Structure 1
Amino acid sequence: MKFRQVAATILISAATAFGSIFVYSKYFQPRQEGVFQNGSQTVPVNYANYMPGTAGNNNLTPPTDFSEAARIGTPGVVHIKTKINPKQLPSNIQKRRSLLEEFFGEQFEDEGSRRRYYSPGQMASGSGVLISDDGFIVTNNHVVDDADEISVTLSSNKTYTAKVIGTDPNTDLAVIKIESKGLPYLLYGNSDDVQVGQWVLAVGYPLNLETTVTAGIVSAKSRAIGINTRNRRSAIESFIQTDAAVNQGNSGGALINTAGELIGINAAIASPTGAYAGYSYAIPVNLVKKVVNDLMKFGNVQRAYLGIEYMNPNTMSEKELEAAGMSRDLAGIKVLNVPATGAAAAAGIKEGDIITKINGVKTSSIPELMEQISRYKPGDKVSVNYLRNNKEYTASAILKNLDGNTDIVKPSVLDYLGAEFSSLNTRYSKEMGIEGGVVVTTINSGLIKKQTNMKPGFVILKAGSAKTTNVDALKNALQGKDKVRLEGFYANDQYSNILYYDLDLSNSVDF
């Protein structure tokens, strides 16, 4: 009897222990993650960054020494100094004549009473990147904008005089050249391979210091901050955002990866004070390559257009989004209109379609779409993925230029004026009682800014003796001219005073 009681007690204890272990292991013990054997590595199967067979996972440990990248990068970055000479600006000449002129003629005009306007001389400093051993340098357009003299100092302290090869205010890029051979230069990287969180270095000459290297990580891609679009309707912004320290003078310098490859041109900072406050922005090198090649080959950028109209969800109110059938988290670009002469219309894309990819690259935001299209020239064929009624389609589109064809666009006299123009609309022309005119919508860098004190909003009625009823008429009136007088008025001038601006075109180029 005693034996039976002992045996029963043992059995009950064993069952209880087994049950306790089972319950604890199932409900209370921390669960162990599954693992996946990857060679000698043991990687959790739910590790988000584990992508078998892809590059970049061989060494997940970030570098702690950037000396090799700095050694490669610093010789190819140069110090650019510019000088703008003082200039006398012509004062506006009003058509309404003074009393002396009315009564006695122009010979009695009081010359001594005319005001003379001067723009003061300026000196500035920036950076640039050597891209060839024979002296071609890429920098920001705003670094060399309107400069009368440009000097370039290498890391070896040798100084050269540089000349401008071409500029593109739309991307804020410029190419300049010095006469030398056997120079160190940076190799192009691939900005498409750049990842958020990746280590990068900014190399330049901030605050007039000698070569300076700072390190940070990529904090965002395809960022638009509105710095280029403030003055140009066709500006392109798709910046690489980093937290590498960048200050005034870094503009035009290099953003490199840890292999010393050029992945961007530093262009701007986000700051309430004008000094570095946490973020800087670089133009991705894949866009830089296209712009540089066009400037060197054609003298201007051969810009391609898909031919769609769209709206940016981030700038729309909730009511506007609802009316357009859009949302802020839309993973694509909704097409609002398709001009009949554009590439998109020829490819079968329609209003309401949502463009998701260009040549297989996701375009979930407008900056991403702009960057992808801007890498191509008119006549290039691209594949376009789009959604229609929640079904995905792929179309082949042949990109066109702004004129709606695939011809090479040669530089015109209007390019050298450094402004954007639009034809005066018919309704306003009728209200003013004029045949037409050309509105100067923006003024950037060029002859108008250098030689006059013209402001945006000026309506050009004549160039010399030729009427300028539209943009094409203005272009034709300026072709082949050495000097010309622009006649017009400011649209916001309630008295509609007629003003004149004299331009000297002789030192630009042959058109």
Structure 2
Amino acid sequence: MSSFRYFASLCAASLLGGGVAIYGYAHWFAPTTTDYDSFEQQQKKYFAHYNASDTASITVPNGINFVQAAERSRPCVVHIRTAYSVSKSSNPHTMNLEDLFGGGGSNGENFHKFEDTPEEVTGSGVIIADNGYIATNYHVIENADEITVVLEDKRSFKAKVIGTDPSTDLALLKIEARALPIMRYGNSDQLHIGEWVLAVGNPFDLTSTVTAGIVSAKGRNINVLRKSEAMAIESFIQTDAAVNPGNSGGALVNLKGELVGINTAIASRTGYYSGYSFAVPVAMVRKVMDDLLKYGEVQRALLGVTILDINAELAQEKGIKEIKGVYVAGISEHSAASDAHLKEGDILLKINDIAVNSSSELQEVVARYRPGDKINVTYERDGETKTTTVMLRNRMGDTRIQRREQLSSVEIESLGATFQSASGNERTSLGIASGVKVVSVTEGGKLSEAGIQEGFVITHIDKKAVATPQQVQRITSAQKGGLLIEGMYPDGKKAYYALGW
């Protein structure tokens, strides 16, 4: 009898347990088959315990609000359209979409067509004066036959180029307009890594587009300009704000809506955004724009030193205890640095209290000044920190201001070509002190027979430096026999030609 009761109890317990399990599965785990008239009903049921009014944990902290910055900056950023003949666009900037993203319109294919037909490239610009001055990238307007600026309010103006600086990839434009909104200059020196910034521009013809990111690095040198500019200055602000073709020349702004940089390049294998973008710091923009307005060309100041970044290997080789500053590997004779008694082996730490820890940072800070300006240089020598005052010089070794030349062409029939002196921008981009540009070549003439092409800049004839067409004419007219002509093409390629007489 006890065995029967035990068996009955066991069966009852099994049935009860099975029932509880089936009920639990059906109630808690089984998929629902309830029909709903709308997805809104599912939302209400699923989030029945969600407190929609509790936003304390997701409220944007004070100071990180993009609305004000976007509202302030968007009216100050313009859309730039440049019309040009493709045959004129064969240059290092416009052909390199992997690095520079100034154009391509919406299809990104314009730079790969070589038929001699008008094409349109788009970019962006920033209004920096209410009477129509606009900062943009040089590669946006390079070789353009016509430049059109479209404001945020859809008004359209023809623009003229006031000046360009290929070494920083900047240009100054002017439109005939008044009472325009202008963007306030910020302070790029005070930007911190990790700080929020906005990129404002016109990617893919999508006007007044705003994207956000943070400052990823400062003083970044990516060698995108040095591919074509021997005297290029690269010390970019790196961000992860999304930028694409058409953003070039647009604004990088802080959360106050102040300009801290001009968006210039992206790191990409395709020419489209893939993580990082680069902007010219506003400290450099400010100086270049003022120079172009006042003098027509940039006044480049030089310290006169050969420098190296300090890394672990150099520190070990030279016995440097702390990896900071920039190492002086050489001093140019009769330069600003030599006059200030700087020496090889010195470690440059600061320029006017701005710390410099890379070659690109040092070059960018010095480039903010003009020949004749005095700067305080803090340096370390033999473990001792010292400061000296340096008066900066230009490429010619003096402190004179160089104004844009009024260049005139001179035809030399005996050579079958037309010449003019190389401009300041051309000399800067090629890293030469002087030269004479070949403007046009007559078929069947001596230069044509030698293979010299238009755009070639003659620097020496029979090892004699030349600076004017008159010098070229004087040397060649007095020559009997052959001549050796030395020079460079706009892409920096050196060339030598033997000219029969």
Residue of structure 2 equivalent to 1:79: 79
Residue of structure 2 equivalent to 1:470: 465
Q: Is the 8 A contact 2:315 2:321 kept in 1?
A: no
Residue of structure 1 equivalent to 2:218: 221
> What do you get for the CA RMSD once the two structures are aligned?
3.8
Separation in 2 of the partners of 1:495 and 1:378?
A: 33
Separation in 2 of the partners of 1:328 and 1:162?
A: 54
* 1:293-372 → structure 2 map (5 Å cutoff): 293-313=290-310, 321=314, 325=318, 330-372=323-365
Indicate how the Cα distance of structure 1 residues 422 and 187 shifts in structure 2: closer, same or farther if over 3 A, else same: closer
Residue of structure 2 equivalent to 1:207: 204
Separation in 1 of the partners of 2:435 and 2:134?
A: 36
Residue of structure 1 equivalent to 2:392: 399
Q: Is the 8 A contact 1:384 1:395 kept in 2?
A: yes
**AA of the residue aligned to 1:406:** T
Mind listing any 5+ residue stretches in structure 1 that lack a counterpart?
A: 1-59, 90-116, 425-436, 441-445, 480-485, 500-511
Q: Deviations over 1:348-372 (max 9, x none)?
A: 1111111111111111111110111
Residue 121 of structure 1, CA deviation: 3.4
**AA of the residue aligned to 1:232:** E
**AA of the residue aligned to 1:354:** I
* 1:71-150 → structure 2 map (5 Å cutoff): 71-85=71-85, 119-150=116-147
Residue 68 of structure 1, CA deviation: 1.3
Separation in 2 of the partners of 1:494 and 1:472?
A: 17
* 1:468-507 → structure 2 map (5 Å cutoff): 469-472=464-467, 477=472, 488=485, 498=499
Residue of structure 1 equivalent to 2:422: 414
Q: Is the 8 A contact 2:260 2:282 kept in 1?
A: yes
Give the number of equivalent residue pairs.
Answer: 382
Q: Deviations over 1:321-361 (max 9, x none)?
A: 48962779731111111123111111111111111111111
Indicate how the Cα distance of structure 1 residues 203 and 311 shifts in structure 2: closer, same or farther if over 3 A, else same: same
Q: Is the 8 A contact 1:140 1:173 kept in 2?
A: yes
Residue of structure 1 equivalent to 2:53: none
Separation in 2 of the partners of 1:158 and 1:287?
A: 29
Q: Deviations over 1:371-394 (max 9, x none)?
A: 110111011111111111111111
Q: Calculate percent identity across the aligned residue pairs.
A: 43
Q: Deviations over 1:469-511 (max 9, x none)?
A: 21436685599xxxxxx99578999995659xxxxxxxxxxxx
Separation in 1 of the partners of 2:359 and 2:383?
A: 20
Partner SS for 1:252: coil
Indicate how the Cα distance of structure 1 residues 493 and 81 shifts in structure 2: closer, same or farther if over 3 A, else same: closer
Separation in 2 of the partners of 1:454 and 1:61?
A: 61
Separation in 2 of the partners of 1:326 and 1:455?
A: 51
Separation in 1 of the partners of 2:432 and 2:77?
A: 43
Separation in 2 of the partners of 1:246 and 1:72?
A: 19
Indicate how the Cα distance of structure 1 residues 438 and 414 shifts in structure 2: closer, same or farther if over 3 A, else same: closer
Q: Does 1:238 align with 2:235?
A: yes
Residue of structure 2 equivalent to 1:182: 179
Q: Deviations over 1:16-73 (max 9, x none)?
A: xxxxxxxxxxxxxxxxxxxxxxxxxxxxxxxxxxxxxxxxxxxx94645311111110
Residue of structure 2 equivalent to 1:254: 251
Mind listing any 5+ residue stretches in structure 2 that lack a counterpart?
A: 1-59, 90-113, 406-420, 442-447, 475-482
Residue of structure 1 equivalent to 2:160: 163
Q: Is the 8 A contact 2:436 2:467 kept in 1?
A: no
**AA of the residue aligned to 1:363:** V
Q: Is the 8 A contact 2:168 2:232 kept in 1?
A: yes
**AA of the residue aligned to 2:467:** D
Separation in 2 of the partners of 1:475 and 1:415?
A: 16
Separation in 2 of the partners of 1:126 and 1:212?
A: 12
Q: Is the 8 A contact 2:309 2:357 kept in 1?
A: no
Partner SS for 1:472: coil
Q: Is the 8 A contact 1:144 1:150 kept in 2?
A: yes
